[in-house]
Amino acid sequence: MPPADERAGRPTADDDGVPAAEGPATGPQNPVAAGARSLGLRWRSSMQVRVVTSALALGVLVVVVLGLFLSYSVRDGLFEQRIDQIEAENAALVQETQSRFSASTATTIGEQQSLLRDVILGLSAIGSSAQDYFLRQAPDQSLPLVDPSSRQDLSVRDVVSPAMREATLTTDGPVLQSVLIPAAYSESGQDEPGVVFGTTVELASAGTYELYALYSLASQQETLRFVQRTLAVGGAVILAMIGLLTWTVTRQTVAPVRRAATAASRLGEGHLDVRMPGSRGQDEMATLARTFNEMASSLEDQIARMEELSASQRRFVSDVSHELRTPLTTVRMAGEVIYAAREDLGPAARRSAELLQTQLDRFEELLTDLLEISRFDAGAAVLDVEHRDLRDVVTAVVETAAPLAERKGVFLSVDMPGEAVRADIDPRRVERILRNLVVNAVEHAEGNPVEVSVGADDEAVAVVVRDHGIGLTPDELNRVFDRFWRADPARARTTGGTGLGLAISQEDARLHAGRLQAWGSPGAGASFRLTLPRRAGIKLTGSPLPLEGPARSTGRHVPTGQVPVVNPPTGPTPTAIPDLSVSQEESS
């Protein structure tokens, strides 16, 4: 027999507890969006949260499936058991009613009406669990009898549908229908599930009658609700136990991993004496702690040896550089005497005197750079800050590099704003940076123009030096600021570089809390950008100028008297840069 209508025994579905969305988040202060971001961050950053949440999700799924299965099984069992009991009672009722009809001798309408009332009242007194009984005259009966019921406030039309009446008259045996007993007619004052059994009985003198018995399923519904509440409480307890057990187990696993991550982070920050606790024991976590501590001890020893070696090397370089100053001074004095008297020497000796003077210049420049590098390594370099107009520094650098550009046939142009570009800088160090960049650009320009651009915004000032010469490969870009590195060691240099210029320039930029960046492409030239904060404490987030710079100079002029600006040639014959009488020694 199929189960009753879902209203009769369906477990009550609880609300899922998710509030209805009131609308999308419209701003960064929305608490729902902030909470979602916080939960998302917590989910991504904590393995323990993910494991516990996953275990609880699986637990909820299992509990819900098991709870639904048990709930439906209990519901169907209670319904079937009650239906079997009702069928047995209904069979006894039908037999009792038919017996009384068969034994009746009523012939008049009054006697028949009285018989019907007596039968209804008799059914109510035999101790059946039915809540109400109805007798209704079958259609096409000519006797004007009133259909009686055991309760005057409940009509047969309230519980028996026309479809059930038709099925009762056309079916041999009882017919079952699930109904909802209205709250006005139920004993509890609430809507109750119930069933109606219908069958036909024969009264010899009055014809066919329909007999209906109404049974309540309120007790079964209450039993089902109790079982569902018990399952819900049990499920909640099981989920709490699953969450607690998973949290405890994962904590025992995750806590050592977190300690290892914290120790590794502090180790990376330079705290070489950090160690992991919990190294005692024989389990996997103790083994992890011991292994980590052994690794940290080994790293501490190796880094200590490397620092000692590095300090020794720095002291050696500094000491050697200082010690070489005295003999270099003596050799230079002797070399200058010989160089001054070179006109009285033979051709070979005169050439040797010139070579000696050139190499002494290079030697002195190398010693100067080595001393500067040693000061950076020792942390002894300091800034002599002045609030200066960066255009003045650029002008001085360009004037210094102009003779070299003229000899190389390179057009040197400058693009600067008309207003002052002031910043807190060390003019000597910034001038050294820009001189290295401009001289290198002129040397590698291969006769193509070199552009120097100056820009500024509210937070930073910048200078871009762009050439259109041989350019740089990606590998060369990665090493361009390395010490003693040259893109082409075999290439002749007019000024005899030491390979330390860009390394010192980068350290000078860092000392200003600025950045020195490079860009290059083979055959398309190279570009170097120096970006400095206007004031101390400003953290750079960008630069006023693009790194690549213009593809080719457009010859923009600045106000007269600030800096020479040379337009690129429009014909095959280049125009020379004016001679500003700057010596080669000054340019280096």
Segments making up each domain of the chain, as ranges: 35-224, 284-375, 384-587
Burial of 69 (0-12, 13-18, 19+ CB in 10 A): exposed
Q: Is the pLDDT of residue 287 over 50?
A: yes
Residue 142: the pLDDT is 56
**Residue 18: which pLDDT band, with cuts at 50, 70 and 90?**
very low
Residue 587: the pLDDT is 33
Burial of 583 (0-12, 13-18, 19+ CB in 10 A): exposed
* Cα separations in angstroms, 296 against 264, 284, 307, 311: 9, 18, 16, 22
Q: Is the pLDDT of residue 289 over 90?
A: no
The pLDDT tens digits for 523-547 are 888 999 999 998 887 888 888 898 8
**pTM beyond 0.75, yes or no:** no
The pLDDT tens digits for 343-383 are 888 888 888 888 888 888 777 777 777 777 777 766 767 77
DSSP H stretches of helix in 410-479: 427-444, 474-479
Q: Which of 145-159, 235-249, 399-413 has the lowest mean pLDDT?
A: 145-159
Task: Determine the Cα–Cα distance for residues 205 and 533; give it in Å rounded to an integer.
Answer: 116
Task: Determine the Cα–Cα distance for residues 133 and 198; give it in Å rounded to an integer.
Answer: 10
**Residue 12: which pLDDT band, with cuts at 50, 70 and 90?**
very low
Q: Find the helix or strand (DSSP H, E) in which 214 lies.
A: strand 207-216
Q: Is the pLDDT of residue 557 over 50?
A: no
Residue 312: the pLDDT is 77
* Cα separations in angstroms, 49 against 59, 241, 243, 248: 15, 16, 10, 12
Q: Is the pLDDT of residue 464 over 90?
A: yes
Please list, in sequence order, all residues whose beta carbon lies within 8 angstroms of the beta carbon of residue 121, skipping any fewer than 6 positions away.
150
Residue 465: the pLDDT is 93
Residue 486: the pLDDT is 66
CATH architecture type of domain 35-224: 2-Layer Sandwich (3.30)
* Cα separations in angstroms, 540 against 121, 462, 509: 99, 11, 12
**Residue 558: which pLDDT band, with cuts at 50, 70 and 90?**
very low
Q: Is the pLDDT of residue 265 over 50?
A: yes
Sign, CA dihedral 451-405-399-390, equals positive
Of the candidates 67, 53, 9, which has an alpha carbon nearest to the alpha carbon of residue 234?
67
How far, in whole angstroms, is CA 561 from its chain's centroid?
Answer: 55
Single-letter residue type at 254: V
Q: Is the pLDDT of residue 209 over 80?
A: no
Q: Which of 98-102, 203-207, 467-471 has the lowest mean pLDDT?
A: 203-207
Task: Determine the Cα–Cα distance for residues 51 and 36; give it in Å rounded to an integer.
Answer: 19
Q: Rounded to a whole number, what is the distance in angstroms from the first to the last CA of the chain?
A: 106
> Per-residue pLDDT averaged across 390-400, rounded?
91
How far, in whole angstroms, is CA 422 from its chain's centroid?
Answer: 40
Most confident region among 89-98, 146-155, 320-329, 452-461 by mean pLDDT: 452-461
Q: Is the pLDDT of residue 496 over 60?
A: no
Tokens of 511: 């000392």
Task: Determine the Cα–Cα distance for residues 150 and 137; give it in Å rounded to an integer.
Answer: 15
> Per-residue pLDDT averaged across 487-495, rounded?
49
Contact predicate 57/64, CB 8 Å: no
Q: Is the pLDDT of residue 130 over 80?
A: no
CATH architecture type of domain 284-375: Orthogonal Bundle (1.10)
List beta partners, residue 213: 133, 197
What SS3 string covers 527-577? EEEEEEECCCCCCCCCCCCCCCCCCCCCCCCCCCCCCCCCCCCCCCCCCCC
Q: Is the pLDDT of residue 25 over 60?
A: no
SS3 442: helix
Phi and psi angles of residue 197, each rounded to the nearest 5 degrees, phi first:
-100, 130
Of the candidates 484, 400, 463, which has an alpha carbon nearest to the alpha carbon of residue 435?
400
Tokens of 146: 């009133």
Tabulate helix, strand, coil % of the chain (nearest 5): 50, 15, 35
Residue 115: the pLDDT is 75
Q: Which residue has the higher pLDDT, 181 or 66?
A: 66
Q: Which residue has the higher pLDDT, 484 or 15?
A: 484
> Per-residue pLDDT averaged across 50-77, rounded?
88
- Its CATH class, for the domain covering 384-587, is alpha beta
Helix axes 218-268 and 47-103, enclosed angle (nearest 10): 180
Residue 581: the pLDDT is 29
* Cα separations in angstroms, 278 against 267, 282, 339: 17, 10, 74
The pLDDT tens digits for 407-448 are 888 899 999 898 888 998 888 889 989 988 999 889 888 889
Single-letter residue type at 558: V
Residue 19: the pLDDT is 39
Sheet containing 207-216, strands listed edge to edge, beginning at the edge strand earlier in sequence:
132-137, 207-216, 192-203, 175-181
